[in-house]
Structure 1
């Protein structure tokens, strides 16, 4: 949606992919290089159509959201993170031939953590585009005095840096709980599946950086390197975790 010049064009592209996935599973020819490549991946790895369509449909629903339709609860955002990020991990496990309830359970929590943190990272971007909509649920915004009523509708104001940091802390804490739950399952996750859950390491890196800047998502240090640390440090963390069989 964010690379489209017009939101309607972005929505049309998502709808096109939704239809394209159905055509691929119906063995219909699509003259589109990315769709053809996707068709080969599906054929080789037997990816489930339901999982492949889920993130597309979640983004379609999000694209249709009105600017005044602010998520009410963190649970709504957790569901969005599950549909858009956790599902990608499910497909990665499936493509790797992993059939493990424990691995799927860990992927669910790791995806929710990553998805929530991704929404937090997007806050400065949305603010820079002067959008009325942001991914802070009303229950959290109201708790910290960020929810105001103007012209008969509720809006979230990001003017108070201290209040915003407190709201970000609350959401980051939920992400951290999911991350810890994912890691608590490591002992039951098959060894060959753990490298597929390395996105959990990225989530931890961003959480650590957020903590260092006191949960100020507008701190310029968050934009440095990779998730606030040097590319070399980031790669070493991934290598070290992979070598130890951790995530």
Structure 2
């Protein structure tokens, strides 16, 4: 990945982390709403070529100008994160999928744009991988958020995303290497009989960087 694209990818990740951390860093919903409004206005200003003096916003502005990123995806992420401030359990798998589509998948759509990929098969893969990533993230957080116990494994979503791999352009693959960590977690949870509270699931796999390198070398996701 070219240096400019790596810088832009870092800006996208930093933006996502900023929003994701709001929920865990506040004690009152009002504060969270104010933070979300800041980012909503920041994105508007970025697209007016007047970014706020904030490090992440500045880098995001550069990424938007460099790659002509679509504002709609940023707004979807902000809106969905804001709705999630209520901290209530998802009523069904469709709700969780919708949340993942508007956060994780939206971030992947922006990553594809950053890579210069405009391809319907890549978009389909991004949609399903994003949903799987959102669901796995929810599963991993269950021991911490003990109220979120009514969730389901996304095995069917992962399989459907992989079915697009033969049609997705190789140029899009860097956007989907997150599947390495998803597969690792799903494999480990199967080994402990799907006990999401098993202590082994909280340990980091030190071999993940190697697996990621091999997947990148083989040009597979």
TM-score, normalised by the number of residues in structure 2: 0.84
Q: Is the 8 A contact 2:173 2:220 kept in 1?
A: yes
Q: Within the alignment, does 1:90 sit opposite 2:109 as a pair?
A: yes
Cα distance in structure 2, aligned partners of 1:79 and 1:92: 19
Q: Within the alignment, does 1:235 sit opposite 2:209 as a pair?
A: yes
How many residue pairs are counted as aligned between the two chains?
199
Residue matched to 2:99:
80
Residue matched to 1:211:
190
CA RMSD of aligned residues (A): 1.6
Cα distance in structure 2, aligned partners of 1:106 and 1:22: 29
CA deviation profile, 1:159-183 (whole Å, cap 9, x unmatched): xxxxxxxxx5xx11xx111111111
Cα distance in structure 2, aligned partners of 1:206 and 1:187: 24
Q: Is the 8 A contact 2:51 2:61 kept in 1?
A: no
Q: Structure 1's 216 and 20: CA in aligned 2 closer, same or farther, altered over 3 A? A: same
Cα distance in structure 2, aligned partners of 1:213 and 1:71: 25
Q: Structure 1's 29 and 224: CA in aligned 2 closer, same or farther, altered over 3 A? A: closer
Q: Is the 8 A contact 1:71 1:135 kept in 2?
A: no
SS of 2:122's equivalent? Answer: helix
Aligned match of 1:106 in 125, 130, 152?
Answer: 125
SS of 2:183's equivalent? Answer: helix
Residue matched to 2:173:
194
Cα distance in structure 2, aligned partners of 1:28 and 1:41: 14
CA deviation profile, 1:26-59 (whole Å, cap 9, x unmatched): 2224122221111111111111000111111100
Q: Is the 8 A contact 1:109 1:181 kept in 2?
A: yes
Aligned match of 1:19 in 41, 56, 64?
Answer: 41
Cα distance in structure 2, aligned partners of 1:126 and 1:180: 27
TM-score, normalised by the number of residues in structure 1: 0.76
Residue matched to 1:53:
75
Deviates more, 1:27-36 or 1:3-12: 3-12
Cα distance in structure 1, aligned partners of 2:108 and 2:68: 15
SS of 1:217's equivalent? Answer: coil
Q: Structure 1's 29 and 73: CA in aligned 2 closer, same or farther, altered over 3 A? A: closer
Q: Structure 2 unaligned runs (5+)?
A: 1-22
Cα distance in structure 1, aligned partners of 2:219 and 2:54: 38
Aligned match of 1:223 in 191, 197, 202?
Answer: 202
Q: Structure 1 unaligned runs (5+)?
A: 128-132, 137-167
Q: Is the 8 A contact 1:123 1:135 kept in 2?
A: yes
Cα distance in structure 2, aligned partners of 1:28 and 1:107: 30
